[in-house]
Amino acid sequence: MGSNVDAANMEETRSALREKNPKIVFVLGGPGSGKGTQCASIVEHFGYTHLSAGELLRAEAQSGSEDAPMIKNMMSEGTIVPSEVTIKLLAKAIMKNENDKFLIDGFPRNEENQVAFESITGIEPEFVLFFDCSEEEMEKRILTRNQGRLDDNIDTIRKRFKVFVESSLSVINYYNSKGKVKKIDASKPVEEVFEAVKAVFAPVDDKSG
C-alpha cells in the first residue's frame, strides 16, 4: 500500500518540480575536496540555495522516520543510500524553498542516482561543478576538520574515497560527454579555488562578466 502512496506522491512532486523548473548545478568532489566551503561562497556571491545531500540524509537519519535506521546504517558503512530516498529529500527541499537556483552538493553519487534523478524529476542540471583533489590531500583535510561526524573516521573515510572513485566517475564521464562538466583544481588554497569557481558562474549569472 505504501508504494502506491509513494508513486502518487512522486508523480505530484514531479509535476510540481517541472512547473517550478529550477536551475540546478550538481556539485561533485571527493569527501574533503572543499565542496561545502565553496558552496557557501557561491551562495553569497551568486544567490543560489545550497542543498547538501549528505546533510539532508544526516538530518533524516536523526529524525526517527521509517527510513532513519536504514540511512544511519548505510552512512556508517560508507555505502550509497537508495536514489529514491535521497531524491525525495532533495525534491522536498527544492519545493519548500522560494529560490529557483540550487546547488546540489554530493549528488548524484553514481550512475543509478543520475538516471533516477532525471527520470523522477524530469530535470537535467545546467552543469556539474567537479572539485578535483588528490586522495591524500582530502584525507589530511578530513582528519584535521573533525566535525564529530559519525562518518569521519579513517576506515569510513577510505571507504568513502573508494565509493566516490568507483561510482562518481561514471557520472562525471556521462556529463562530460554532454559538455556539462566544469572541472576545478580543488587542491589549491580556498581563495584561489573560488577565483576559478567565480569564472565558471559569472558568465552564467552575469552577462556583463
Whole-number Å distance between alpha carbons of 45 and 47: 6
117 and 171 in contact (C-beta within 8 Å)? no
Tens of each residue's pLDDT in the chain, 209 residues = 345 656 777 788 788 888 889 999 999 988 888 888 999 999 999 999 999 998 999 999 999 899 999 999 998 887 889 999 999 999 999 999 999 999 999 899 889 999 999 988 889 999 999 999 888 888 888 877 765 555 657 777 788 788 788 888 899 999 999 999 999 999 999 999 999 999 999 865 544 43
The gap from C-alpha 197 to its chain's centroid, in whole angstroms, comes to: 16
pLDDT at 77: 84
Is CATH 3.40.367.20 what the domain over 2-200 is classified as, yes or no? Answer: no
Show Cβ contacts of residue 36 under 8 Å, excluding neighbours closer than 6 positions: 52, 105
Cβ atoms of residues 54 and 147 within 8 Å = no
Decide if 145 contacts 93 (C-beta within 8 A).
no
* Residue owning grid cell 522516520: 65
In our burial notation (b when 16+ CB lie closer than 10 A, e otherwise), range 113-151 reads bbebbeebbebebbbbbbbebebeebbebbeeeeeeeeb
Query: Residues forming the annotated binding site?
Result: 32-37, 58, 79-81, 106-109, 113, 145, 149, 160, 188
Question: pTM for this one?
Answer: 0.83
Domain boundary assignment for the chain: 2-200
96 within 8 A of 89, measured Cβ to Cβ: no
Q: Which residues are annotated as a binding site for CMP?
A: 113
C-alpha separations of 135 from 32, 153, 159 in Å: 9, 15, 12
Task: Provide the annotated binding site for a ribonucleoside 5'-phosphate.
Answer: 58, 79-81, 106-109, 149, 160
| Sequence ranges of the binding site for ATP | 32-37, 145, 188
The three-state (H, E, C) secondary structure of 71-133, written as one string: HHHHHHHCCCCCHHHHHHHHHHHHHHCCCCEEEEECCCCCHHHHHHHHHHHCCCCCEEEEEEC
> What element of type H or E holds 31?
none
